[in-house]
């Protein structure tokens, strides 16, 4: 539950894009390893929702 909550609220903030994506991947991998996988759509939604406006093209 905590990891899913973090995934929904994660933001890039001051992290590099690489660190931001690595954190999301880590959460996704952990959830999958405990039998609670995240759909690709939800992964993409988490990535896009957490990006700041300057990534909006």
Q: Residue 57: is its pLDDT beyond 90?
A: no
- pLDDT of 35 reads 97
Q: Residue 37: is its pLDDT beyond 80?
A: yes
C-alpha 20/C-alpha 51 separation (Å) is: 9
C-alpha 50/C-alpha 24 separation (Å) is: 10
More confident residue, 21 or 1: 21
> Residue 50 CB: number of other CB atoms within 10 A?
20
* pLDDT band at 52; cut points 50, 70, 90: very high
> Residue 29 CB: number of other CB atoms within 10 A?
12
How is residue 7 written in tokens? 């995934």
- pLDDT of 8 reads 94
């Amino acid at each position: 539950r905590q990891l899913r909550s973090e995934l929904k609220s994660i933001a890039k903030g001051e992290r590099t894009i690489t660190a931001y994506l690595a954190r999301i991947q880590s959460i996704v991998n952990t959830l999958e390893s405990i039998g609670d996988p995240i759909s690709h759509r939800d992964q993409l939604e988490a990535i896009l929702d957490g990006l700041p406006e300057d990534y909006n093209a």
